[in-house]
């Protein structure tokens, strides 16, 4: 460009008292800025009345200060007619210094409904996120498809579904439900890695209360049908229940801190220096777990005694509580923790906990997080209700997840591991790299009482016929079974357990094993397109 100006241009600039290097402000730009300010003011008025943040206020909470860069600000709008833009905001920002893509639905614009313009913006953002290999976060607050646009709105949902599936396992995807999400719109978040809801204002359902009442006669509120509490405790749809929007968004930031930007990268690492308090907690692990295998305890106390600084971020904490899954760091490296919870139904595996474990292991395997499994389970939950609910089909998901995982896997049997549950909970035979057991642990097909009743049923029956003390004889057989079969020595001798470790050695043993496995490589074993996972 040339710095030479005509004399008339100079005279006009001087007359208007403007610096020669300042670009004149166009009327359209000024009008756009005015529309943007008015739109946000209107949004704040409407949302605050409902106890909700505006879409832009939510973005301020999600991203590191001053890092949000919006794209397509006025796409779908009409500046000349006073329309500021579409009902969705798209752009990029930093979360703990790493780039993240976001789309945030704006309920103050046409109820946040999705039409052609909104669908195009979201798909364009996702295309950019896939090219850049960065996570996608969606802030959902929408009345669903825009009825006025008919099938075009539904078509846009189809495009988003396909993009979400394309991104699955490639980049982390997190959905925050901060308002209504109904009808076909629910499948956008359902396809992502995490769904985060809040106690108030957050709803998800395929069919709303009014339709249900007209079709079935059932009267039910939106909260009882698809509120955050229901999906966090009953259906298992939500992975975290935030106290409010700020808490929900903070959880999303925390989850991203443990995950890599894409499957092509390793998770971030953090500085860690062991403290005296950490070592003291690790030394007390043996006191947390009772010797009596029927006495409950909180597995979270064990986990906090193993991981860095005792920090453990649970996933689906309120659902299927006989299993615990979540993120932590060991020696500064993020890992996924899977554990049975003896405080809930003795840590038994049922249909819900099986699916909870399986999905989390698949998530860890997709994004290069090692899996640490802490085992203390009596087996699968018996009963016709479990069989009819599909314990065979749904329990098989745990097997599929562990057997196909290629990230480093370390398992520790804390107290007991019986039957099929022992096999599926990260045993060496199913694919774990390193397996440990505490000296007092019990590993067998059945617990002592159940095994004795089967193995020695004839002797017990004869003793009863002869008037002998059956209970004394049964106890004798139980003690014999515990000594000869239940202890973990058999697994140690056959190579299914690599070493017996004292409880206070647990953290160090896991850390050393993960350090050994840090360079483990993925291997493509066959040319198949993909397996047929039990659904």
Mark whether 390 is an active-site residue: no
Mark whether 143 is an active-site residue: no
Rounded (5°) CA angle 142-187-386: 130
Q: Are strands 194-198 and 173-177 parallel, antiparallel or unpaired?
A: parallel
C-alpha span between 211 and 207 (Å, rounded): 6
**Closest among 152, 159, 53, 155 to 105, alpha carbons compared:** 53
Q: Which residue in the list 420, 431, 450, 463 is annotated as catalytic?
A: 420
**Closest among 314, 342, 339, 349 to 328, alpha carbons compared:** 314
DSSP letter string, 275-333: -HHHHHHHHTHHHHS-SSTTS---HHHHHHHHSGGG--EEESTTSSTTEEEEEEEETTE
C-alpha span between 506 and 258 (Å, rounded): 22
End-to-end CA distance of the chain: 63
C-beta separation of 362 from 327 below 8 A: no
DSSP letter string, 467-497: T--HHHHHHHHHHHHIIIIIBTHHHHHTTSS
Mark whether 183 is an active-site residue: yes
C-alpha span between 64 and 67 (Å, rounded): 6
C-alpha span between 68 and 104 (Å, rounded): 12
Q: Which residue in the list 87, 421, 448, 509 is annotated as catalytic?
A: 421
C-beta separation of 337 from 312 below 8 A: yes
C-beta separation of 123 from 136 below 8 A: no
**Closest among 444, 388, 399 to 425, alpha carbons compared:** 399
Q: Which residue in the list 112, 183, 326, 336 is annotated as catalytic?
A: 183
C-alpha span between 534 and 392 (Å, rounded): 10
Mark whether 472 is an active-site residue: no
Distances (CA, A) of 492 to 280, 347, 487: 29, 23, 10
Q: Which residue in the list 184, 208, 419, 431 is annotated as catalytic?
A: 184
Q: Which residues are catalytic?
A: 183-184, 420-421
């Amino acid at each position: 460009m040339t710095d030479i100006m005509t004399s008339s241009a100079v005279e006009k600039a001087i007359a208007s008292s403007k610096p020669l290097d300042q670009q004149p402000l166009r009327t359209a730009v000024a009008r756009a800025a005015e529309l943007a300010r008015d739109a946000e003011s209107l949004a704040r008025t409407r949302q605050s009345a409902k106890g909700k943040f505006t879409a832009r206020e939510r973005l301020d909470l999600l991203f590191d200060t001053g890092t949000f860069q919006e794209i397509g600000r006025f796409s779908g709008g009409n500046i000349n007619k006073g329309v500021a833009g579409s009902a969705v905001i798209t752009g990029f920002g930093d979360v703990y210094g790493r780039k993240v893509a976001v789309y945030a639905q704006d309920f103050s614009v046409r109820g946040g409904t999705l039409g052609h313009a909104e669908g195009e913006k979201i798909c364009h953002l996702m295309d950019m996120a896939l090219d850049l290999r960065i996570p996608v976060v969606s802030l959902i607050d929408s009345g669903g498809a825009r009825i006025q646009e008919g099938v075009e709105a539904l078509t846009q949902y189809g495009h988003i579904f396909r993009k979400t599936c394309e991104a699955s396992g490639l980049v982390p995807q997190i959905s925050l439900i901060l308002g209504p999400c109904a009808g076909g719109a629910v499948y956008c978040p359902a396809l992502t890695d995490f769904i985060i809801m809040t106690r108030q204002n957050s709803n998800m359902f395929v069919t709303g209360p009014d339709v249900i009442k007209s079709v079935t006669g059932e009267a039910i509120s939106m909260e009882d049908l698809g509120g955050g509490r229901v999906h966090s405790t009953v259906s298992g749809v939500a992975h975290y229940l935030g106290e409010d929007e700020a808490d929900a968004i903070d959880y999303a930031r925390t989850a991203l801190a443990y995950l890599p930007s894409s499957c092509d990268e390793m998770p971030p690492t953090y500085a860690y220096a062991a403290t005296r308090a950490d070592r003291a907690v690790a030394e007390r692990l043996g006191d947390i777990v009772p010797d009596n295998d029927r006495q409950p305890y909180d597995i979270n106390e064990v986990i906090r005694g193993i991981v860095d600084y005792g920090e453990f971020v649970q996933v689906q904490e309120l659902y299927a509580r006989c299993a615990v899954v979540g993120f932590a760091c060991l020696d500064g490296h993020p890992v996924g923790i899977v554990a049975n919870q003896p405080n809930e139904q003795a840590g038994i595996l049922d249909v819900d906990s099986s699916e909870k474990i399986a999905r989390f292991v698949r998530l860890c395997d997709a994004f290069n997080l090692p899996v640490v499994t802490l085992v203390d389970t009596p087996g699968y939950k018996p009963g016709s209700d479990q069989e009819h609910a599909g314990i065979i089909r749904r329990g098989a998901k745990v097997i599929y997840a562990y057997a196909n995982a290629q990230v480093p896997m370390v398992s520790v049997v804390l107290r007991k591991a019986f039957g099929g549950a022992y096999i599926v909970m990260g045993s060496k035979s199913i694919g774990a790299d390193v397996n440990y057991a505490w000296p007092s642990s019990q590993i067998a097909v059945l617990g002592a009482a159940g095994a004795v009743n089967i193995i020695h049923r004839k002797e017990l029956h004869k003793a009863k016929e002869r008037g002998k003390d059956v209970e004394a004889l049964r106890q004798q057989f139980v003690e014999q079974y515990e000594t000869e079969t239940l202890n973990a020595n058999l697994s140690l001798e056959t190579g299914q357990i690599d070493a017996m470790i004292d409880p206070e050695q647990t953290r160090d043993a896991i850390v050393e094993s993960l350090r050994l496995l840090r360079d483990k490589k993925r291997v493509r074993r066959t040319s198949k397109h993909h397996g047929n996972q039990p659904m």
